[in-house]
Amino acid sequence: MTRNRYAQTPMRAAAILCALIQIDCTTSEQPYSITGGYTFARDFEGERRVLRIEPSSERLATCIETSLPAGTSSSWKRALLAPAMHQALIDLLFDETRLPSYQADLDAVEESGTFICSPRPSQPDFCYMPELVVTGDVPKVWVKVASKPTPRLVRSPLRFGLQKHVSLSNQGRELVEAFLDAHHACWDPED
């Protein structure tokens, strides 16, 4: 019994520490996700822009733009993307020659993950990570496993940091810009 009690003490201390870190700060909401397609969710400067696309030739896109923290009252818009715009976004996502640059961008996020917190009157502050997250059946990327010196392939969301002190690769910036162009075409199709 004594051994069991001492084994639980570090776990309890870790749980208490995690709870204390969250006091007076609501952490970032999880990006919108989708099954069977791709979701680009950008949290930056107090707003969230989300674009959902399918890899098929349908070119249908759904999008939303809302302030953070995101409310449930925001409505989604639907639009058909231009064939070249839709194909360019898919090509940027799956171009294997870009994966090393994307991995460098993902590593930069892990090294400098900085939250931005916005005070809200009479409520806990809301904190979010300025980033673009791509979810769905994203390409396999190299990640290093701490316990093994060799990298292995895994499927994971792609997270591109948008903090001022993070320098994205040219390829990462191109993907972010292509997403924003496609989002704009969905959100304001008359422009």
Whole-number pLDDT of residue 190: 78
Answer yes or no: is 6 within a domain: no
Q: Are 109 and 131 in contact (CB under 8 A)?
A: yes
| pLDDT tens readout for residues 68-123 | 887 666 789 999 999 999 999 989 988 888 888 988 888 887 776 677 777 766 76
Higher pLDDT, 147 or 68: 68
Answer yes or no: is 85 within a domain: yes
Segment among 10-24, 44-58, 167-181 with least mean pLDDT: 10-24
Report the C-alpha gap between 110 and 77 in whole angstroms.
33
User: Residue 182: which residues within 8 A CB-CB, separation 6 or more?
Assistant: 40, 51, 53, 61, 81, 85, 86, 89
Segment among 31-40, 86-95, 122-131, 156-165 with least mean pLDDT: 31-40
Q: Are 45 and 65 in contact (CB under 8 A)?
A: no
Answer yes or no: is 1 within a domain: no
* Residue 103 CA from chain centroid, whole number: 14
Answer yes or no: is 86 within a domain: yes
Answer yes or no: is 127 within a domain: yes
Strands lying side by side in the sheet with 77-80: 77-80, 60-67, 47-53, 38-44, 131-136, 158-161
User: Residue 183: which residues within 8 A CB-CB, separation 6 or more?
Assistant: 40, 42, 49, 50, 51, 63, 65
Residue 22 has pLDDT above 70, yes or no: no
Residue 8 has pLDDT above 50, yes or no: no
| Stated pTM of the model | 0.72
Q: How many domains does the chain have?
A: 1
Please give the share of the chain, as a percent, with pLDDT higher than 70.
65
Answer yes or no: is 106 within a domain: yes
Q: Is 179 helix (H, G, I), strand (E, B) or coil?
A: helix
Report the C-alpha gap between 131 and 133 in whole angstroms.
6
Answer yes or no: is 8 within a domain: no
Most distant CA pair in the chain, distance = 70
Answer yes or no: is 181 within a domain: yes
Q: Is 103 helix (H, G, I), strand (E, B) or coil?
A: helix
The overall average pLDDT reported for the chain is 75
User: Residue 55: which residues within 8 A CB-CB, separation 6 or more?
Assistant: 37, 38, 90
First to last CA, the chain: 70
Q: Which domain holds residue 132?
A: 38-187
Amino acid at site 109: V
